[in-house]
Amino acid sequence: MINSMTGYGAAQGQFNGVSYIVEIRTVNNRYLKTRIKLPEPLTFLEEDIEKLLQAELSRGMVSYILRLKNASADVLFDIDQTALQTVAEQLGRIVSVSDIKFTLNIGDLLTLPGIVQPVSPDEKTAKQTRKRILGATREAIKELKQMRAAEGTALAADLNSHCEAIKQDLERIRARSKTALRQYRKKLKKRVNELLAEAKIELDATTLAREIAIFADKSDISEELARLGSHLQQFARTCRANKQAGRRLDFISQEMLRETNTIASKTSDMEISRCMVDIKCRIDRIKEQVQNVE
């Protein structure tokens, strides 16, 4: 069964007294695109998280956010005391040899580049942190995929309802196309006879048959109806058999619309034309929904 590209998953845990929360949101996109937002001390995990997302998901815009709670300052950041002392000494020397007067504020010094830096964990801590965060990420992905599967079930039901309605319209069109040809024959004969009545000339049966044959050939939609029916069958099989069928379904729906336009251009029957308008509307709805399929 197909999956939706829309979903949400979350997981949380605790390590070294720090609580962390992983959140993953996805929306539809033509390709797989990820946006990963990590706290500065954990940016070393970005590549591993990227690989995990690519391995588990095939399409969609993926927004990944990792948040930390109850993290102390010494866990997140480190102050380069040597750099801070160097800056303070240089400012002191400038004050001593100039007439500049100012108040030295330690808070202002901390905003200077290179003074406050994210803590780089040692190898053991980094390994443990990677294991915990990636484990939470897998849990969030699992929840995300469950939601995408549930959304996919709803999408499949909606797509199937439109396909079934199109099939019913096709049956009406097949029946109507035979009636339309007979009505055209009667209408053509009556019209020509009315025009030739004053001249007392009757329409030759062979000529009438030839004109009807030409009309039948130009308005023959049997091949298009067969192809459209085949596309509907392919569409249904793809929905049942493929979880990652978005691109294929998009292509099939485009072919369905192409056949529909050809049928509409060939027919002059009002009832068939009305059916074709309904089918076009349903295919447009199908194309819109397919954009959400993974």
Q: What confidence tens digit (pLDDT) does each residue in 6-21 have?
A: 999 999 888 777 788 9
Residues 160, 90 within the same domain: no
Give me the chain's average pLDDT, please. Answer: 81
| pLDDT at position 68 | 82
Q: How far apart are the first and last CA of the chain?
A: 11
Residues 158, 266 within the same domain: yes
Determine whether 132 is exposed, middle or buried from the number of CB atoms within 10 Å of its CB (0-12, 13-18, 19+).
Answer: middle
13 by DSSP, 3-state: which?
A: strand
Write down the number of H helices and E strands in the chain: 9, 6
Q: How many other C-beta atoms are found inside a 10 Å radius of the C-beta of residue 72? A: 9
The answer to whether residue 73 scores a pLDDT higher than 50 is: no
**What is the CA angle 275-280-282, rounded to 5?**
95
Asked whether 66 and 39 are in contact (CB, 8 A), the reply is yes
Domain-embedded: residue 177: yes
| pLDDT at position 288 | 93
Asked whether 135 and 248 are in contact (CB, 8 A), the reply is no
Residues 98, 160 within the same domain: no
Higher pLDDT, 273 or 84: 273
d(CA 32, CA 28): 9
Q: How many domains does the chain have?
A: 2
Q: How many other C-beta atoms are found inside a 10 Å radius of the C-beta of residue 137? A: 22
Domain-embedded: residue 139: no
Q: Report residue 255's pLDDT band, with 50, 70 and 90 as the boundaries.
A: very high
Residues 165, 100 within the same domain: no
The answer to whether residue 161 scores a pLDDT higher than 80 is: yes
| pLDDT at position 180 | 60
* Percentage with pLDDT > 90 across the chain: 43
| pLDDT at position 183 | 61
**What is the CA angle 168-257-230, rounded to 5?**
55
Domain-embedded: residue 213: yes
Domain-embedded: residue 262: yes
Domain-embedded: residue 47: no
Residues 209, 266 within the same domain: yes
Which of 137-151, 162-176, 190-204, 210-224 reaches the highest mean pLDDT? 137-151
Domain-embedded: residue 239: yes
Please name the residues in contact with 167: beta carbons below 8 A apart, sequence gap of 6 or more.
229, 232
Q: Where in the sequence is the domain holding 203, given as residue range(s)?
A: 154-290
By 3-state DSSP, what share of the chain in percent is helix, strand and coil, each rounded to 5?
Answer: 65, 15, 20
Domain-embedded: residue 148: no
d(CA 18, CA 141): 22
Residues 174, 93 within the same domain: no
Q: Report residue 165's pLDDT band, with 50, 70 and 90 as the boundaries.
A: very high
Domain-embedded: residue 166: yes
Q: Report residue 241's pLDDT band, with 50, 70 and 90 as the boundaries.
A: confident
Residues 159, 262 within the same domain: yes
Range scoring the smallest mean pLDDT among 100-104, 108-112, 175-179? 108-112
- pLDDT mean over 56-77: 76
Range scoring the smallest mean pLDDT among 81-95, 191-205, 226-240? 191-205
pLDDT tens digits, residue range 112-157? 665 555 656 667 777 888 898 999 999 999 999 999 999 999 999 9
Asked whether 215 and 184 are in contact (CB, 8 A), the reply is yes
Residues 191, 279 within the same domain: yes
The answer to whether residue 283 scores a pLDDT higher than 50 is: yes
d(CA 176, CA 272): 7
| pLDDT at position 40 | 78
Q: What is the 3-state secondary structure (H, E, C) of 189-223?
A: HHHHHHHHCCCCCCCCHHHHHHHHHHHHHHCCCHH
| pLDDT at position 57 | 93
DSSP label at 30? Answer: S
- What kind and span of H or E run contains 288? helix 270-290
Residues 212, 91 within the same domain: no
Asked whether 175 and 272 are in contact (CB, 8 A), the reply is no
The answer to whether residue 59 scores a pLDDT higher than 60 is: yes
| pLDDT at position 287 | 95
E-assigned strand segments in the chain: 7-15, 18-27, 32-37, 60-69, 77-79, 116-118
Residues 90, 207 within the same domain: no
114 by DSSP, 3-state: which?
A: coil
Q: Report residue 44's pLDDT band, with 50, 70 and 90 as the boundaries.
A: confident
Residues 258, 203 within the same domain: yes
d(CA 47, CA 50): 5
Higher pLDDT, 90 or 283: 283
Higher pLDDT, 264 or 34: 34
The whole-model pTM stands at: 0.71
Residues 183, 89 within the same domain: no
